[in-house]
Amino acid sequence: MSLARLIGGFVRRHWPAYVSSAFMLAGVAICTVLIPRKVGALIDGLAAHSLDGRALLLGLAQLLGLGLAIYVLRVGWRIRLYSAAYNLGVELRTRLYARLSAQGPGFYQRQRTGDLMALATNDIDAIEMAAGEAMLAGFDGTLTLVIVIGIMTLGVDARLAGVALLPFPLMAFAFWRISTQVHHAEADALKRFSSLNDHVQESLSGVRTLRALGLESRSASQFSELAGNAANASLNAQRWEAAYEPAVGLTLTAATGLTLGLGGYLVWNGELTVGDLTSFTMYLGQLIWPMFAAGWVLSLIERGRAGLNRLQPLLDAPLTVEDTGTLASIGRGALAVDRVTFAYHEAEKPALDGVSVTVEPGQTLGLVGPTGAGKSTLLRVLLRQATPQSGMVTWAGQPLTAYRLEALRSAMSWVPQESFLFSATIAENIALARPGASRLDVEEAAKMASIHDDILRFPYGYDTPVGEKGITLSGGQRQRVAIARALLADSALLLLDDALSAVDTGTETRILEHLDELRAARPERAAIIASHRLSAVAGADRIVVLRDGRITESGTHDELLALDGWYASQWRYQQLEASIDAD
């Protein structure tokens, strides 16, 4: 979509604001062009000694009234216009946020967070200015230009107007050349600001790692270089924008010189009065604004075009997971994975290769295997964060694709490997899935996750802010807060992706016991636990061993020990390791 179509559609939806602003600007233009005529008439009256004191005071009062009217109308159109133009920024940011929220992990593997943040700020601001300031400045400048030239030609002297306009085609050519350079410079400036923004975001997110590795000076040096590049790009854009002013100045200087030359000759020969020449000169001065407006509008439009050229691909980017389902609720039934194969785009070998497994309501499935075996990938397929190339996943007899994503994901509670907490209080983070949950419910969920006692030791208890990404909490505390959040959601399927890796074995045992209690209280609730620690899945109804994307072993804990395969050897190793740690 072009910038003109985008702004055109927005103007059609908000036409009352633009029309009222246009009328106020027309009033400004009319009042503005009346002032030189009034001044010229007063000068001629004084020169002819035909103007008494009362008439002079009345004329001055009229000039003051016109000035006040211009002030009021200019304030009015700005308030009216910007209240509408800011809505475009809101609409674009809302569209961008909705699109980003619907994208899957594959999309974010190709995007940088800092760049996305820059798009939501600087780029949309540029488009917003093109829809607001540029639209009305263009209208105001054009209307003023037409009225002033019309009065100069028809109301004063056509010969003077013709001579004064001779330099203007050269200015139009200069504007065309400058605007082309401004577009490229603004695009480069926005791109370099995105790079700077991305570096700052990554550095602040990984500040602990930078400090641990002693990379503060290196990061600061990179920041300085990126900041310098961004500053130079912005300076280059401003340098080209500044070229508009000399073009206007040279044009108006040449027009003024031609006007005074011909005008002086006409006054000398009695073909033009001094008042008319004064009025014409004042009108010529009023052309300064339309000329500057033209340069300003071209600059804003080029900024908007550059911003839209960066924003549009994201708005048009296809969803990595399409939400085409129609079913809004999930009935009671088994979750079945049937010969599912999935490969990441950049990988040659499938992460899942012909995997088949079934989880009945109320059952607990354990997923184990070495690093890279496909455990997390299988959970992402169930969450529809990834779409398998072959095979099918059904729930309650229906393919996952038949359900709306909102319904599907609200029926699952997922605790990922890297638990993410928002910059809010502990209670707000736990109640994220159920904002209306009572404090009693929140505390009960925290007790089930064995984090309640830790929370009470904080200065403000459940009202303690956790900081960005939960930075004030330890890794184990973050995991348990995330588990409490999942338990409070009370969904039909609980997915734990190595969510107990940062807790000690005693805490792990208590959490698993609480999960067994929940399953007894709600027998239809199923759970899938992926873990490197086999003790986390020993009590599962069924355990599958994934290796290289394939199921190599399957059964209960005792059955797998009897097989004496990978599971049995890993169990013996972990038990030995635990006994050594205990000693």
Nearest to 319 by CA among 560, 82, 103, 472: 103
Q: In which residue are the tokens 């009042």 written?
A: 31
**Whole-angstrom distance, CA of residue 429 vs CA of residue 460:** 15
Task: Supply the DSSP string of 167-189, one letter for each residue.
Answer: THHHHHHHHHHHHHHHHHHHHHH
Last residue of a domain, one of 284, 316, 348: 316
Q: Are 361 and 468 in a shared domain?
A: no
Q: Are 186 and 138 in a shared domain?
A: yes
Q: In the numeric block, which tokens belong to residue 89? A: 């920024």
Q: Are 384 and 400 in a shared domain?
A: yes
How distant, in Å, are the alpha carbons of 69, 149, 251 from that of 165? 29, 9, 9
Q: What is the model's pLDDT at position 365?
A: 92
Q: In the numeric block, which tokens belong to residue 195? A: 């790079």
CATH number at residue 214: 1.20.1560.10
Q: Which residues of 15-33 are buried (b: 16+ CB within 10 A; e: fewer)?
A: eebbeebbebbbbbbbbbb
How buried is residue 408: exposed, middle or buried, by Cβ count under 10 Å (0-12/13-18/19+)?
buried
In total, how many domains does the chain have? 3
Q: Are 368 and 506 in a shared domain?
A: yes
Q: What is the model's pLDDT at position 356?
A: 92
> Helix or strand or coil: residue 549?
coil
Domain that holds residue 400: 335-411+493-583
**Whole-angstrom distance, CA of residue 365 vs CA of residue 265:** 100
Last residue of a domain, one of 463, 490, 517: 490
Last residue of a domain, one of 261, 287, 316: 316
In a domain, 464, yes or no: yes
Q: Are 310 and 447 in a shared domain?
A: no
In a domain, 282, yes or no: yes
In a domain, 431, yes or no: yes
Nearest to 324 by CA among 412, 407, 404, 411: 404
Digits of tens for pLDDT over the chain (583 positions)?
577 777 777 777 777 777 777 788 778 777 777 776 677 667 767 666 666 677 777 777 877 887 788 788 877 777 777 777 777 778 888 888 888 877 777 777 777 777 777 778 778 888 887 777 777 777 777 777 777 777 777 766 777 777 777 777 777 777 777 777 777 787 787 778 777 777 777 777 677 677 766 777 777 787 788 888 888 888 887 777 777 777 777 877 787 777 777 777 777 777 777 767 776 777 777 677 777 777 777 777 877 888 888 888 888 888 777 778 788 888 888 899 999 998 887 656 888 888 999 998 888 899 998 888 888 889 988 988 888 888 999 998 888 888 888 888 888 888 888 888 888 888 888 888 788 888 898 888 888 888 888 888 888 888 888 877 777 788 888 888 888 888 888 788 888 888 877 777 778 888 888 887 777 777 788 889 998 888 888 888 899 999 988 999 999 999 989 888 899 998 888 888 777 765 5
**Whole-angstrom distance, CA of residue 490 vs CA of residue 473:** 24
Q: Are 433 and 546 in a shared domain?
A: no
Q: Are 504 and 567 in a shared domain?
A: yes
pTM of the model: 0.68
In a domain, 197, yes or no: yes
In a domain, 370, yes or no: yes
Q: Are 375 and 242 in a shared domain?
A: no
Q: Are 468 and 507 in a shared domain?
A: no
Nearest to 45 by CA among 67, 66, 60: 60
CATH number at residue 374: 3.40.50.300
In a domain, 18, yes or no: no
Nearest to 466 by CA among 416, 429, 415, 418: 429
